[in-house]
Amino acid sequence: MTLRALLLDVDGVLVRGRPSDGRYWSSTIDQDLGLDIAVLQREFFSTHWDDVLTGRAALDERLAPVLARIAPHLTVDRLTEYWFAQDSRLDHRLLERVARARRHGMTVHLATNQEHRRARHLMEELGLSAHVDGIFHSAALGWRKPEPAFFAATTTKLGLEPAELLLVDDLKENVLAAAAAGWATVHWTDSPAAWAALEARLPG
């Protein structure tokens, strides 16, 4: 069956860390914002992130009280502004290949674990809406990769057969879950082998 839609993960595929050096977005957050990332991980990400990521809670409502406790000098807006700006290094080579696939009739969408605020940032501020036809993100779907419901919901919304969909993702568990749902897959490592696997599946 012909592949008709390309589904791209964001972090680790299209977006690769800090614009300056590709390192993780919080690598120097302690120096830059006076925030201990280990404390943020324990108090916010380990406790609240799953609810935020699947749309059961808003980022602001969960993050604001945490910051009030652990970093009262920071607001949600200040932290997210820093976070999103530091996590925004685009892979322009991959975007160029995606553009060629779109010109040859393949639709392209983001398929990503994101909360609503960053999903909007990716599409509007980072400009990915100019490169893709849409976004399927976990907070909107109510499920996150690698849960089967994420892939089922995305397939239904696209109105295509699973075998017509190609996922490019850097996490092996997501690739395996997509394959189990009947999708074609490429495990993205930005290596010559990964590029060859992608080229073999894309038009143009």
What's at 202, amino acid-wise? L
Q: What is the pLDDT of residues 65-112, one digit of tens each?
A: 999 999 999 999 999 999 999 999 999 999 999 999 999 999 999 999
**pTM to 2 decimals?**
0.96
Q: What is the pLDDT of residues 48-59, one digit of tens each?
A: 999 999 999 999
Report the DSSP pairing between strands 5-8 and 184-187.
unpaired
* Locus of tokens 């604001």: 64
Identify the structural domains of the chain with CATH numbers, from first to last: 5-16+90-199 (3.40.50.1000), 29-86 (no CATH)
- The angle at the Cα of 169, spanning 181 to 61, to the nearest 5 degrees, equals 95
The phi, psi pair for 126, rounded to 5°, reads -80, -15
